[in-house]
Chain A
Amino acid sequence: MNDFDLIRKNLFRRKLRAILMIVSILVAFMIFGVLTGFYRAFTSGEDQAAADRMITVNKINFTQPMPIAYFNRVKAVEGVKQVTFANWFGGYYQDPKNFLMTLAVEPASYFSLYSREFILPPDQLQAFIRERTSAVVGEKMAEKWGWKVGDRVPISSNIFTQKNGGQSWDVTIAGIVKAGTEQVDTNFMLFQYAYFDETRTIAKDTIGWLILQTNAPADNDRVAKTIDAMFANSSAETSTDTEKAFGKAFAAQFGNIALIVLLVVGAAFVTILMIVGNTMALTIRERTREIGVLKTLGFPGPRILKLVLGESVLLALLGGIPGLVIAALIARTLRNSVANMAPSFAVSPEIALLGLVLMLALGLITGIIPALNAMRLKIAAALGRG
Chain B
Amino acid sequence: MRSLLLQVAAVTSINLKSLPQRRWLSLSTVVAVALVVVVLLAFLAMANGFQRTIAGSGAADIAIVLRAGSQAEINSTVSRDQVRLIEDGPGIAKGSDGKPLLSPELYLVVDGLKRTTMTKANLPLRGIGEQGAALRKGITISAGRMFSRGANEIVVGKALVREFAGFDLGSTVAFGATRWTVVGIFEAAGNVFESEIWADLPVVQSLFNRNNIVQTVRVALTSPAALNELKAFNDADPRLKLDVKSEAAYFAEQASQTSDLIQKLGWPLAIAMAFGALAGALNTMYSSVAARAVEIATLRAIGFGGFPAFVGTLVESLTLAAIGGVLGAAATYLAFDGLTASTLGGNFTQVVFDFKLSPALMGQGVGLALIVGLIGGLFPALRAARMPIIAGLYA
List residues of A whose CB falls within 8 A of some B CB.
16-17, 20-21, 23-24, 27-28, 30-31, 58-61, 63-64, 90, 96, 156, 158-159, 161, 167, 202, 233-237, 248-249, 252-256, 263-264, 267-268, 270-272, 274-275, 277-279, 281-282
Task: Please pick, from B25, B208, B269, B282, the residue contacting A264 in the complex, using a CB distance under 8 A.
Answer: B269
Residues of chain A contacted by B28 (CB below 8 angstroms): 274-275, 277-278
The docked-state distance in angstroms from the alpha carbon of A37 to that of B176 is 38
**Contact A31 B272, CB 8 Å, known A256-B341, A271-B280, A275-B32:** yes
Chain B hits for A277, CB < 8 A: 28
The residue in B67, B108, B269 that gathers the most chain A C-beta atoms within 10 A of its C-beta is: B269
With A17-B286, A275-B279 in contact, is A255–B69 under 8 Å at CB?
no
Is B96 in contact with chain A by the CB < 8 A criterion? no
Decide if B110 touches A24 in the complex (CB within 8 Å): no
A61 near B70 with CB under 8 A, answer: no
User: Is B177's CB under 8 angstroms from A17's CB?
Assistant: no
- In the assembled complex, the Cα of A279 lies from the Cα of B285 at a distance in Å of 12
A270→B35 contact, CB < 8 A: yes
**A64-B108, A278-B28 are contacts. A271–B277 as well, Cβ < 8 Å?**
yes
Q: Is B327 interfacial (CB-CB < 8 Å)? A: no
**CB-based contact A30/B272 at 8 Å:** yes
| Distance between Cα atoms of A278 and B23 in the complex (Å) | 11
Contact of B42 among A21, A59, A256, A263 (CB under 8 A): A263
Q: Check: B234 CB closer than 8 A to any chain A CB.
A: no
**B191 adjacent to chain A (CB < 8 Å):** no
Residues of B with C-beta under 8 A to A28:
276
- Given known contacts A274-B280, A278-B28, A161 and B67 CB-to-CB distance under 8 angstroms: yes
- A253 near B272 with CB under 8 A, answer no
Closest beta carbon of chain B to A178's beta carbon, Å? 30
Contact B287 A282 (CB under 8 A): yes
Told that A253-B120, A253-B344 touch, could you supply 9 new A-B pairs with CB distance under 8 A?
Answer: A23-B279, A27-B273, A59-B111, A61-B108, A63-B122, A237-B177, A253-B119, A254-B344, A270-B35
Which 6 A-B residue pairs are closest in the complex by CB-CB distance? A24-B279, A275-B280, A255-B343, A24-B276, A27-B276, A20-B279
Q: Is there contact, CB below 8 Å, between A60 and B110?
A: yes
Contacts A96-B71, A161-B67 known; A21 to B348 CB distance under 8 Å? no
Do A158 and B70 touch across chains, with their CB atoms under 8 A apart? yes
B351 → A minimal CB distance (Å): 10
Alpha-carbon gap, A101 to B277, bound state (A) = 41
* Distance (whole angstroms) from the CB of B120 to the closest CB of chain A: 5
| Interchain nearest-CB distance for A138 vs B (Å) | 23
Number of A-B contacts (CB under 8 A): 146
Contact for A254 among B74, B117, B287, B343, CB less than 8 A: B343
B286 touches A16 (CB 8 A): yes
Contact with A along B122-164 (1 / 0, CB 8 A): 1000000000000000000000000000000000000000000
CB distance from A360 to the nearest CB of B (A): 19
Interface residue tally on B, bucketed by range: 35 or more
User: What residues of A have a CB within 8 angstroms of the CB of B209 in the complex?
Assistant: 235
Nearest residue (CB) in B for A28 is B276
B213 and A275 form a contact (CB under 8 A): no
Whether a CB of chain A sits under 8 angstroms from the CB of B283 is: yes
- Interface residues of A: mostly helix, strand, loop or mixed? helix
Residues of A within 8 A of B70 (CB): 158-159
B176 touches A272 (CB 8 A): no
The interface residues of chain A lying within 8 Å CB-to-CB of B111 are 59-61
Within 8 A of A (CB), among B26-65: 28-29, 31-32, 35-36, 38-39, 42
Contacting pair B177 A264 (CB below 8 A): no
Per-residue CB contact flags for chain B residues 65-83 toward chain A (1 = under 8 Å, else 0) read 0011111101101000000
Q: Which residues of A contact B286 (CB under 8 A)?
A: 16-17
Which B1-38 residues have C-beta < 8 A from chain A?
A: 24-25, 28-29, 31-32, 35-36, 38
Known: A167-B69, A252-B119. A23 touches B275 (CB 8 A): yes
Bound form: Cα–Cα A297–B117 in Å: 62
Instruction: State in angstroms the CA–CA spacing of A279 and B280 once bound together.
Output: 9
Are A27 and B272 interface neighbours, CB within 8 A?
A: yes
Chain B residues near A21 (CB, 8 Å)? Answer: 279, 283
Q: Which residue of A lies closest to B26 (CB)?
A: A278
B109 at the interface (CB under 8 A from A): yes
The verdict on A24 contacting B280 (CB below 8 Å), with A158-B70, A236-B176, A255-B342 known, is yes
Residue B389 at the chain A interface, CB threshold 8 Å: no
> Is B350 an interface residue when CB atoms closer than 8 A count as contact?
yes
Report how far A274 CA is from B24 CA in the complex, Å: 10
Complexed CA–CA distance, A64 and B279 (Å): 54
Q: B residues within 8 A CB of A253?
A: 119-122, 343-344, 350
B320 CB, nearest partner CB in chain A, Å: 13
Contact indicator A60/B175 (Cβ below 8 Å): yes
Contact of A271 with B32 in the complex, beta carbons under 8 Å: yes
- Asked whether, in the complex, the Cβ of B24 is within 8 Å of the Cβ of A271, the reply is no
Query: A59-B176, A271-B280, A275-B283 are contacts. A64–B109 as well, Cβ < 8 Å?
Result: yes
Q: Which residues of B contact A17 (CB under 8 A)?
A: 283, 286
Q: Are A263 and B177 in contact (CB under 8 A)?
A: no
Pair A267/B176 contact, Cβ less than 8 Å = no
Say which residue of B36, B114, B177, B343 sits within 8 Å of A271 (CB atoms).
Answer: B36
Partner of B176 from A60, A158, A255 at Cβ < 8 Å: A60
| Bound-complex Cα distance A24 to B278 (A) | 8
> Which chain A positions have C-beta within 8 A of B273?
27, 31, 264, 267-268, 271
- A156 near B42 with CB under 8 A, answer no
A267 in contact with B283 given A255-B342, A278-B24 (CB within 8 Å): no
Known contacts A27-B276, A233-B177; is-contact A158 B69 (Cβ 8 Å)? yes
Query: A260–B185 Cα gap in the complex (Å)?
Result: 31
Other-chain residue from B175, B342, B348 in contact with A63 (beta carbon distance below 8 A): B348
Q: Are A255 and B341 interface neighbours, CB within 8 A? A: yes
**B residues 97-124 touching A (CB-CB < 8 Å):** 108-111, 114, 117, 119-122
Residue in B31, B68, B273 whose Cβ sees the most chain A Cβ within 10 Å? B273
Pair B38/A267 contact, Cβ less than 8 Å? yes
User: Which chain B residues border A254 with CB–CB below 8 Å?
Assistant: 343-344
Chain A nearest CB from B162 CB (Å) reads: 15
Closest CB in chain B relative to A285 CB, distance in Å = 11
For A58, list chain B residues within 8 Å (CB). Answer: 176
CB-CB under 8 A from B67, the residues of chain A are 161
A376 to B319, CA, bound (A): 37
Q: Which of B120, B121, B122, B286 has the most CB of A within 10 A?
A: B120
Minimum CB–CB distance for A32 against chain B, Å: 11
